[in-house]
Amino acid sequence: MYKYDPIDQQIVNERVAQYRDQTRRYLAGELTDEEFRPLRLQNGLYIQRHAPMLRIAVPYGLLSSKQLRKLADITKKYDRGYGHFSTRQNLQLNWPKLEDTPDILAELATVEMHAIQTSGNCIRNITTDQFAGIAPDEIIDPRAIAEIMRQWSTFHPEFALLPRKFKIAVSGTEKDRAIVQAHDIGLEFYKDAQGQMAIKVWVGGGLGRTPILGTVIREHLEWQHVLSYCEAIIRVYNIHGRRDNIYKARIKILVKALGIEEFNRQVEEEWAHLKDGPLTITQNELDRVAKYFEPMPYKTLPAHDAAFDAAVASNPAFAAWVKRCVHAHRVPGYRAVTLSLKPHGKAPGDITSEQMHVVADLADAYSFGELRSSHEQNLILADVQLSDLFAVWEKARAAGLATPNIGLLTDIICCPGGDFCSLANAKSIPIAEAIQMQFDNLDYLYEIGDLELNISGCMNACGHHHVGHIGILGVDKDGSEWYQVTIGGKQGNDASIGTVIGPSFSAEEMPGVVKRLIEVYVRERQDEERFIDTVRRLGVAPFKAHVYAEKETA
């Protein structure tokens, strides 16, 4: 992974000093709440329901074991001994003290970490697929460009106070796992006819109050121009994006309002002034950064391992874990492992300090000391030898990190909701927990198969409910909490926004609602059809009929 040089380290150190002084001035009454707000947000600090919330950046989801140990120690020392991985692959602390945050950032800086621009109206953490660099379907590893973009966007002098937050995702695989279409800018890397790295650029996607999938603004962008092109897009947005209404301030609204042709025209006009200028990335710079993302020192291994095969054959629990939590790898004899942060009945994405230490140890022993966080809120050991999988499983299982539910109904994406977040209209974690408990039978889960269930506690859609096969949105009606259900949402190359099936439900009804949706699916599915495909084939009507028929007779 990327390693700081003295310049990177100096920037992060200077940031800590700057923020320490800003916090001091705020606490001394020299800065008002309103003035301090963007400053703290750009350092990851929210003021939340119970306490501040600190969002620590995990650039494109990559962490070293050393960094994770530091995070474990920080959660122990300054928080309540756990952290929460978010859908932007970042780690959130729910209980830090405002006055401790400069010290926390200083500690993070010692392991090349920070909380810069994890919040606020600026360019946020760049995200990608958790299997970047190892996925068998990868065409281009986008991480070097992602790191160059991280640096470009860090304290960008023009884009510190945009109309609204700005999210960029990069993907370099055949199957999109970074949801490029749900981002302000989505960059899809591919090899062009000349075999050169090129980028397809999506713009104006986003979830939230007005979910819109992005539009392709440029089919072919040479990688050298990615910074100048993005700068052109964001300049147009900075000047013309709405600032009078926070709900209409995202770039997607501007793109819709202008139409993609006019928006594109303005971007081209702007880009004409920037293209081939100093922002053009040099081959030298790409090479310098890319060398940090070179393949790991893999051994030459056989494609099969007899002991592993025997363990799978003789141990159904291990076999179940392998089926759900172990993923293909481009190098023979290696696999990627997802450590599930979704044990049934616990808050999705949460991890204790002790578990962080276990994961760091596992990464050191079995995966070159590195790990990744996924937007599905799990952790990944990307480079595990086949022959080590059994040992990894045993240790992960002992630490409660081996629930074999990845990609299944209980691998729920879930925002912190009303338990922690002051924006939320409703709780989301207890809903996730209740659904997980309702579907605690693993055999039944396997029978249901691949299913993505996403829960958000409010319109902001941090839980990505719009793109869940089943999406649940917490809404506030007359001061009480209700839940609206969508089905048919999907991430990936054929992404779609789910359809609301009808009036909302109470919290108590939710596990039953999901159960009835599944009943329709199990009844109607053909052959190996997944839930999402059945919904796409039949539409929402039969699901709606069954869910609300039950409700009326109940």
Partner 1 sequence: MSQLIQLAANGQASIVADEWTRVVPPAPAEESVRKQAGKVVLFKLTGEPTFSAEQIANTHIPATGKILVPLTIWQARKAELQPRLAAGELGIVLATHETAEALQAEFADINSLPIIAIFVERFADGRIFTLGAWLRTRFGYKNELRAIGDVLRDQLFFHKRAGFNSFLIRADRSAEDALASLNDFSQPYQGGVADVPVWRRVNRA
**Phi-psi category of residue 488: left, alpha or beta, with phi > 0 → left and psi -120 to 50 → alpha:** left
Give the C-alpha separation, 390 to 396, whole Å.
10
Question: Which stretch, 32-40, 86-94, 316-324, 493-501, contacts partner 1 (CB under 8 A)?
Answer: 32-40
Taking the complex as a whole, how short is the minimal distance between the CB of residue 196 and partner 1, in angstroms? 20
Question: Which stretch, 237-245, 433-441, 480-488, 503-511, contacts partner 1 (CB under 8 A)?
Answer: 237-245
Under rule CB under 8 A, which residues in 123-182 are in contact with partner 1? 151-163
Question: Which stretch, 136-144, 276-284, 385-393, 412-420, contacts partner 1 (CB under 8 A)?
Answer: 276-284
Cβ proximity to partner 1, 289 vs 459, nearer residue: 289
Establish how many alpha carbons lie within 13 A of residue 272's alpha carbon, considering only the half-sphere containing its beta carbon: 5
Of 50, 97, 239, 345, the one binding partner 1 (CB under 8 A) is 239
Of 195, 278, 297, 316, the one binding partner 1 (CB under 8 A) is 278
Residue 242 in the binding site for partner 1 (CB under 8 A): yes
Q: Please enumerate in sequence order all residues whose Cβ is within 8 A of that of 443, keeping only pairs 6 or more positions apart, or say none.
A: none
Under rule CB under 8 A, which residues in 378-437 are in contact with partner 1? none
Cβ proximity of 369 and 64 under 8 Å: yes
Question: Which stretch, 235-243, 254-262, 426-434, 466-474, contacts partner 1 (CB under 8 A)?
Answer: 235-243
Cβ proximity of 384 and 430 under 8 Å: no
Q: Is 437 helix (H, G, I), strand (E, B) or coil?
A: helix
Taking the complex as a whole, how short is the minimal distance between the CB of residue 236 and partner 1, in angstroms? 9
Of 7, 28, 193, 303, the one binding partner 1 (CB under 8 A) is 7
Taking the complex as a whole, how short is the minimal distance between the CB of residue 85 and partner 1, in angstroms? 26
Residue 243 in the binding site for partner 1 (CB under 8 A): yes
Cβ proximity to partner 1, 239 vs 522, nearer residue: 239
Taking the complex as a whole, how short is the minimal distance between the CB of residue 118 and partner 1, in angstroms? 17
Instruction: Supply 516's token pair.
Output: 């009835």
Cα dihedral angle (319, 434, 359, 112), rounded to 10 degrees? 140
Instruction: Supply 214's token pair.
Output: 């992005």
Residue 35 in the binding site for partner 1 (CB under 8 A): yes
Of 11, 51, 260, 538, the one binding partner 1 (CB under 8 A) is 11
Buried/exposed 158-186: b ≥16 CB within 10 Å, e otherwise: ebeebbbbbbbbbbbbeebbbbbbbbbbb
Taking the complex as a whole, how short is the minimal distance between the CB of residue 378 and partner 1, in angstroms? 31
Residue 483 in the binding site for partner 1 (CB under 8 A): no
Cβ proximity to partner 1, 278 vs 297, nearer residue: 278
Residues in contact with partner 1, total (CB under 8 A)? 42
Sheet of strand 326-327: strand arrangement? 62-64, 370-373, 379-385, 334-339, 326-327
Residue 9 in the binding site for partner 1 (CB under 8 A): no
Residue 14 in the binding site for partner 1 (CB under 8 A): yes
Residue 10 in the binding site for partner 1 (CB under 8 A): yes
Under rule CB under 8 A, which residues in 199-228 are in contact with partner 1? 227
DSSP state, residue 520 = H
Q: Judging by DSSP bridges, how do beta strands 185-191 and 168-171 pair with one another?
A: parallel
Cβ proximity of 316 and 397 under 8 Å: no
Burial class from Cβ neighbours inside 10 Å (0-12, 13-18, 19+) for residue 245 reads: exposed
Cβ proximity of 346 and 85 under 8 Å: no
Give the C-alpha separation, 400 to 387, whole Å.
21
Cβ proximity of 500 and 484 under 8 Å: yes
Of 22, 75, 118, 367, the one binding partner 1 (CB under 8 A) is 22
Give the C-alpha separation, 379 to 58, whole Å.
12
Cβ proximity to partner 1, 229 vs 483, nearer residue: 229
Q: What are the distances in angstroms from CA 226 to CA 237, 257, 327?
A: 17, 25, 31
Under rule CB under 8 A, which residues in 67-126 are in contact with partner 1? 121
DSSP state, residue 164 = S
Of 285, 354, 519, 524, the one binding partner 1 (CB under 8 A) is 285
Taking the complex as a whole, how short is the minimal distance between the CB of residue 436 and partner 1, in angstroms? 41
Residues near partner 1 (CB under 8 A): 5, 7, 10-11, 14-15, 17-18, 22, 31, 35, 38-39, 121, 151-163, 227, 235, 238-240, 242-244, 273, 278-279, 282, 284-285, 288
